[in-house]
Structure 1
Amino acid sequence: MSGRRIVIGIGNPDRGDDGVGRLVARSLDGRLPADVEVVEADGEATALLAHMDGAEAAYLVDACASGAEPGTVRRFDAAAAPLPQAAFGLSTHGFGLAEAIELARALRQLPARCVVYAIEGAGFETGAPLSDAVAEAIPQVQERLCCEIEQPADVGS
């Protein structure tokens, strides 16, 4: 793959499980090819659009609240279809990830490959610690991202 690739870890580390995207981003340090940019973001829509702008592939990691078992990891091909409102309808980031992706799609700025890894959170209260279930999901997401970025055509949804 010759185009720009970026991993965006999204979240607020002061709100319990909401910070998991940033923790996944940090866990990738030194594990990805040198041409893959890894950034942390608070989830603010215009910042997400700026990070994705010009990328051929974007991999986003965020917490979600769909009612599934905490620590459940789901992968979405956001280039193919909108993110489910049930998982991403409410955001501690204000204008959320799903809306940012749809805005990028409408503006024709969505990367050709846009993958979202969502980790089901348990607690999002200010000052809450990261839950054990979510912490245990980090290595799984790290491994899946590394495999997908190294061999993008071989990884399914």
Structure 2
Amino acid sequence: GAALEHLPPLEGMNLHAFRWDHALAFGRWLLKDEYPRNITVYLIEGACFDLGAPLSDAVAAQMETLARHLVRELSDSYDNIAG
């Protein structure tokens, strides 16, 4: 949508600062005219970024919730296409 019209420039980007909007900008650059008009982005905010730190319970729970949601959504989409 409109929020994604002004993506960050790719110049000077490095993997240590690579964010979700950089991934979209890279996809737009790579795919050019084939870049999809509609993209859904799912974000889970991290809690701790210490080296070697495990996922927090809250982040792990949200990952499980999102995974279940995506399985349902993709299954429904497949059923609509196949059926």
Q: TM-score range by the shorter chain?
A: 0.5 to 0.7
CA contact (8 A) 1:101 1:110 kept: no
Q: Distance in 2 between matches of 1:92 and 1:130?
A: 20
Identify, as 1 or 2, the structure richer in helix: 2
User: Counterpart of 2:63?
Assistant: 138
| SS of residue in 1 equivalent to 2:42 | strand
Instruction: Confirm whether residue 82 of structure 1 aligns to residue 4 of structure 2.
Output: yes
What TM-score comes out, normalization by structure 2 length? 0.57
Q: Distance in 1 between matches of 2:33 and 2:18?
A: 19
- Which of 28, 34, 50 is the matching residue for 1:105? 28
What TM-score comes out, normalization by structure 1 length? 0.34
Q: Distance in 2 between matches of 1:133 and 1:92?
A: 25
- Cα deviation, residue 113, structure 1: 4.4
Identify, as 1 or 2, the structure richer in strand: 1
Instruction: Confirm whether residue 121 of structure 1 aligns to residue 46 of structure 2.
Output: yes
* Paired residue type of 2:44: I
Unpaired runs of at least 5, structure 1: 1-79, 86-90, 153-157
User: Counterpart of 1:26?
Assistant: none
Q: Which has the higher contact order (CA 8 A, sep 6+)?
A: 1
Q: Structure 1 109/99 Cα, relative in aligned 2: closer, same or farther at 3 Å?
A: farther
* Paired residue type of 1:100: A
Unpaired runs of at least 5, structure 2: 8-13, 78-83
Runs of 4+ in 1 over 4 A off after TM superposition: none
Larger radius of gyration: 2
Aligned residues: 66
Among the aligned pairs, what percent are the same residue? 36
Report the RMSD for the aligned CA atoms in angstroms: 2.8
Q: Distance in 1 between matches of 2:65 and 2:59?
A: 10
